[in-house]
Amino acid sequence: MPKQQPRPMSGADILVQCLVNHGVDTVFAYPGGASMPIHQALTRFQKQLRTILPRHEQGGGFMAEGYARSTGRVGVCIATSGPGATNFVTCLADAKMDSIPIVAITGQVGTHVIGTDAFQETPIVEVSRPITKHHYLVQRTEDIPRVMKEAFHIATTGRPGPVIVDIPKDLQNRAIIADYDPPMNLPGYNPERRATREQLEKVFELIRQSKRPIFYAGGGVISANAAGLFKAFSEKTGIPVALTVHGLGAFPSKHYLCLQMLGMHGTVYANYAVNEADLLLAFGVRFDDRVTGKVSEFAKHGKIVHIDIDPSEINKIKTAALPICGDVGQALRDMLQMIDEEPARIPPATQYADWMRQIDKWRDEAPLKFASRNDAIVPQCAIQRLYEIVRERGRLSDTIVTTGVGQHQMWSAQYWHFETPRTWFTSGGLGSMGFGLPAALGAQAAHPLKTVIDIDGDGSFLMNIQELATAYTEKLPVKVLLLNNQHLGMVMQWEDRFYESNRAHTYLGAGFEQDPYPDFVTIAKGFKCQGTNISRREDLDGALREMLDSKGPYVLNVLVPYQEHVLPMIPGGMTVKDIIKA
């Protein structure tokens, strides 16, 4: 029989076929006039591709992030032009700062009216240029396969990040015969970097010279899929570990060498150790200001080794004694091999005995702690008990936690102990309120058999509460532990600490302390989700178990006192000497 000739396909069908070819199984897409051809094409690929309809484009973008953070694969979101596209801006900035691989596809007005302020036209590529890793305005239908191939390559290689692809509507409708394997055209993009053996020998030399070393490890370790390698390297060297907020899960929290999170709301002992270390091994981090505080005082007593894939981060904030631009996973793999070849490259275990005794003393003197408030449920206790119940059930590795932004976010980082990577997602660099629920939905779509919990605050939760509709209609049984203090808690904490408790629009209620506003459980039930209110400590464990055992999406609205502060705390721009312990 004669070979069947390829048939012309619309640009929209070609685009969706490209998604399938790149292994995409789920997209988060909200339709509109300029993206209608794409959505029509999605209906023709239903067997290969699940389309989840968010109730707001920002929700869809955060869902794509939750999918990407939980899988390590590209998250894909789609919106129309104009307001649909601009609603992606926060998600793109969030993914850029937190190094998350997403491809955002937007419809655009027809090529013949671009630049005329046509209906729902915005120059989204120009708007997004500073907050994306790369960006495309497609000029020809023939370019779609190449652009998509490049977009996925750029999003996932080197330091991961977001790519936006803007496609005019007429190019979506135009039919051509596509070439699905075109050559890429990225002459200036060389993302793969590897530390040299000479550089790694210098790392070992500094380790052997050190008496008080510490790892400062971040999300780059998880992005490199290097958590296992990092654990092995830390154990072989006997060097303790402090983690960034995105590094949680890169090293087992309950491990003796783990000092938990460092930085503004990190443990006292992690911050003391970093301050007194004579060698700071910074792996997959960017020296964010929430970690460093006053930069000139951060880790000033020690030499710094900085390994990171992104050359722009090397020596950007702190000058390293040994700067290494390279993949942290490959560097760890190479160093472990070098230890196997010659065990004497690392010092004897006794070399750090005095250092670990000092760290143990700090741990004993200043553990994380909170006080009870009669029969009230303090938020730290709610998080701790939820963690303990999940752990007792043997479900820690099968549970994913997301958060919004604020006090509950930091308490979650402090009181939930993450043992494995890709089980904790929060908006770290941008601090985007409204992240928790949609990110949880994206993670749940990727992992239908796992328990996904959004630990949220009433301020953050309300920003994307409409996505409860997505949870119900798409059968995504996300659990929401809502710590409701009727305030913008973190801003209120700063008011208490630095503005004489003057409340400047941080109270979210309606003036009735006995009648919290809004009624989140009624709202949840309006979306056909389950929900319960509790306020007494004696009801907490039973309510947490009921939430975990529920079959569908569930909102547990826990009324908590607003007087609680996240401690320890290093005030912004200050040093470990200024740490507030209680």
Give the chain's largest Cα–Cα span: 85
Tokens of 445: 């779509």
Start-to-end CA distance of the chain, whole Å, equals 81
Question: CA–CA separation, 392 vs 384, rounded Å?
Answer: 12
Average pLDDT value for residue range 464-481 = 98
The per-residue pLDDT for 132 is 98
DSSP 123-189: -HHHHHGGGSSEEEE---GGGHHHHHHHHHHHHHSSS---EEEEEEHHHHH-EE---SSPPP--TT-
pLDDT over 90, % of the chain: 96
* Catalytic residue flag (residue 490): yes
pLDDT above 80 for 337: yes
Whether residue 493 lies in the annotated active site: no
Per residue in 18-52, pLDDT (tens digit) is: 999 999 999 999 999 999 999 999 999 999 999 99
Q: Any catalytic annotation for residue 120?
A: yes
pLDDT at 1: 56
Q: Where in the chain is the domain with CATH 3.40.50.970?
A: 9-176, 379-559
Mean pLDDT of 169-191: 96
The CATH architecture annotation of domain 9-176 reads: 3-Layer(aba) Sandwich (3.40)
Residue 512 pLDDT: 63
Task: Give me the mean pLDDT over the 348-360 stretch.
Answer: 96
Residues 6+ apart with CB under 8 A from 567: 265, 580, 581, 582
Catalytic site includes residue 467: no
Concatenated DSSP letters for 546-574?
A: HHHH-SS-EEEEEE--TT----SB--TT-
Residue ranges of the chain that CATH labels 3.40.50.1220: 197-365
| pLDDT reported for residue 203 | 98
Q: Give pLDDT, residue 2.
A: 59
- Catalytic member of 169, 231, 318, 479: 169
Q: What is the 3-state secondary structure (H, E, C) of 21-73?
A: HCCCCEEEECCCHHHHHHHHHHHCCCCCCEEECCCCHHHHHHHHHHHHHHHCC
Residue from 261, 433, 490, 492 carrying the catalytic annotation: 490
| Beta bridge partner(s), residue 107 | 167
**pLDDT category of residue 522 using cuts at 50, 70 and 90:** very high
Least confident of 197-206, 358-367, 446-455, 502-511: 502-511
Given a cut of 80, whether residue 274 has pLDDT beyond it is yes
Instruction: Please identify, in words, the CATH class of the domain defined by 379-559.
Output: alpha beta
202: pLDDT strictly greater than 60? yes
Write down the pLDDT at residue 515: 78
Catalytic site residue from 9, 17, 57, 492: 57
306 membership: H or E segment, kind and range: strand 303-308
- What is the reported pLDDT for 348? 95
Q: Which of 120, 351, 466, 563 is catalytic?
A: 120
CB 303 within 8 A of CB 274: no
Architecture of the domain spanning 197-365: 3-Layer(aba) Sandwich (3.40)
Inter-axis angle of helices 328-341 and 197-209, nearest 10: 70
Sign of the torsion formed by the C-alpha atoms of 205, 208, 213 and 217 = positive
Q: Which of 48, 119, 201, 209 is catalytic?
A: 119
Lookup: tokens for 315: 């020596």
User: Residues 430-457: what's their mean pLDDT?
Assistant: 98
